[in-house]
Amino acid sequence: MGRRQFRPRGGWVLVVFICGVCCTLAGSVVAADAPSFLIARPLFESTGRPLLDRSSDPALTPYQGTNPKGHQRLYVVPADRAGDPPETLTRYLSESPEFQRAFDLLRTARHLRYTQLTKEKAGKAARDFARGVLAGPLVILDRSPERGYPFCMLGLTTLVVEGPRALDRILHASPDFILVTDLSRQTWKQALENDLLDILVGHEVAHAAMFECMGPAFDTLAGSYRGAHVTTTVSHPGFALQEGWAEAVQAWIDPAAARRAKGRKAREAGVSDFYLDSQDDIRQETYLWVDARAKDGRLRNASQMMATEGIVATLLYKVLASRAIAGAPEKLLTVMAYDRPQSFPDLVRGYLKRFPGDRSTLLRIVLETTRYRTMSRPVAEAYQAYRHARARQTSRQTDAATLQAAKRAYESAKEEAFRRALEGADIFVDLGPALRLYGAGYEFDLNLVDLDGLVRSGLDREDAAKVLAARDEVTYFTGDPLETIRKAVGEETWQKTYSRYLWHTVR
């Protein structure tokens, strides 16, 4: 979700504030006994509004970008100075190896950003700020600055001060924060009792790590997408990367917990479907299909796959968990910090340039997981035919010989495609361009949209099916999206029904 003025990012149930120490620690940037988190609470004005100010400090530019009005800063105070310290939460996170693993990832991101700013000879203020961020803890806010805040990460500069009458005595400063508040269906204390709170915090820490690596480029990831945040939904390439990364990290910090977090408690706690399915290859397979339940179902096209957060989460989880890739988390964060990818394909291209030694493993993960749909439609169709044959064989509608022939055809085709990929062929050649349509109450990409999306925009269901059939014939659309729809539905239907309210602008 986008980092906008006081808009929550990423999760649905909780926010944790991440802060860095703004002082130089003797001997090392990070002290051996430096705490990994600090629980804090927001300060408020007499009106009840959160205490905020604006600053034009150039130290904030690498994280917040350029703003002629200055950047907002939120004032918070350590919880132990505000009374009623949350001892249970403190003890729980202190004893959680899953939380510590997530924080180690964040510290790696902070180290990368500090090193990058040093190499690029950024101003002293920016370097000192990044050094303080690296040395500092993750600050968890257990009280919301405003009513209705969900579990999220927010890229808003946060100042931890000694107290409401000592705003100039800054203990820590950070470019972002995470907030722990009650979930939509239960309190955060119940999530803690279910031993799920640390992985939920880990999801938000992953957002923070990406934000701190990418800075202002993080804001542009989701574009203007404001749709569903669901693992199976075709959304937006940048949004899928943003959320897919956090879901992958959530599963990676404690893969065994996916087997424990079953049923009602996990669902109520806001645990994503991907987390529950992260150990289940059969369930992961469902993300690839337009209708996974149909025995004659169709695979999603390449563009749709790269805009589905469940698929991107699966890909990133496999990279993080791969035993064949040394230092995968650090490598992925390095690409985020230096290349600022705006989609999963961007991330892969940057990775292959920086770490060519992992080429074979990474290509195999991407192509096998997507069934080669991003690179070769014929190979994907061979896999589709094999799956259909397997479904028919299960219901005794075909024989074993036919099934084996379909399997051999797919395996032969995919190995030939993989050989070409190793030799340098583009594994994302089947991705279509973004063809965005805007109108009264709708917005969609013609190469991503599904049948229901076209119907919601005003097309008759039969006409919407014609548009998708035309897209399937050519893999993806190019050119003017309006002319594409006009051609698919026919001139008479276009003039009679759609010409007056369908339009688009280039953004």
pLDDT, tens digit, 9 for 90 and up, residues 127-150:
999 999 999 999 889 888 988 777
Lowest mean pLDDT among 161-175, 190-204, 491-505: 491-505
pLDDT at residue 501, rounded to an integer? 58
The four Cα atoms 179, 183, 187, 189 give a dihedral, to 10 degrees, of: -50
Residues 6+ apart with CB under 8 A from 46: none
Nearest CA to 344 out of 319, 324, 325 is that of 319
Q: What is the DSSP string of 25-70?
A: PSSSSS-TT--SEEEEEE-B-TTS-B-EEEE--GGGHHHH---TT-
| Mean pLDDT value across the chain | 84
State the Cα–Cα distance between residues 455 and 24, nearest whole angstrom.
Answer: 58
What SS3 state is found at 438?
strand
The yes-or-no verdict on residue 23 having pLDDT over 50 is no
pLDDT at residue 479, rounded to an integer? 84
State the Cα–Cα distance between residues 366 and 217, nearest whole angstrom.
Answer: 24
Quickly state the pLDDT bin for 19 (edges 50, 70, 90). Answer: very low
Quickly state the pLDDT bin for 33 (edges 50, 70, 90). Answer: low
pLDDT at residue 298, rounded to an integer? 86
What's the pLDDT tens digit per position in 99-119?
999 999 999 999 999 999 998
Report the percentage of the chain scoring pLDDT > 70: 82
Nearest CA to 493 out of 469, 463, 448 is that of 463
* Residues 58-75 as b or e (16 or more Cβ within 10 Å = b): ebbbbbbeeeeeebbbbb
The yes-or-no verdict on residue 85 having pLDDT over 80 is no
Sign of CA dihedral 121, 158, 160, 137: negative
What SS3 state is found at 156?
coil
* Residues 235-254 as b or e (16 or more Cβ within 10 Å = b): bbbbbbbbbbbbbbbbbbbb
The yes-or-no verdict on residue 9 having pLDDT over 50 is no
Residues 6+ apart with CB under 8 A from 257: 98, 195, 196, 199
Report the percentage of the chain scoring pLDDT > 90: 52
pLDDT at residue 93, rounded to an integer? 92
pLDDT at residue 16, rounded to an integer? 36
The yes-or-no verdict on residue 462 having pLDDT over 50 is yes
CA angle 127, 250, 218 (to 5 degrees): 40
What's the pLDDT tens digit per position in 251-277?
899 876 655 555 545 555 556 666 555
What's the pLDDT tens digit per position in 337-377?
999 999 999 999 999 999 999 999 999 999 999 999 999 99
What's the pLDDT tens digit per position in 389-433?
888 877 677 788 999 999 999 999 999 999 999 999 999 999 999
Could you tell me the residue ranges of all domains in the chain? 37-215, 258-422, 436-503
Output the six-digit token pair for 303: 């563009």
The yes-or-no verdict on residue 172 having pLDDT over 80 is yes
pLDDT at residue 293, rounded to an integer? 61
pTM flag (> 0.85): yes
State the Cα–Cα distance between residues 36 and 92, nearest whole angstrom.
Answer: 13
Average pLDDT over residues 497-506: 59
Cβ atoms of residues 203 and 11 within 8 Å: yes
Which of 177-186, 257-266, 367-376, 494-503 is modeled with the greatest confidence? Answer: 367-376
State the Cα–Cα distance between residues 271 and 13, nearest whole angstrom.
Answer: 10
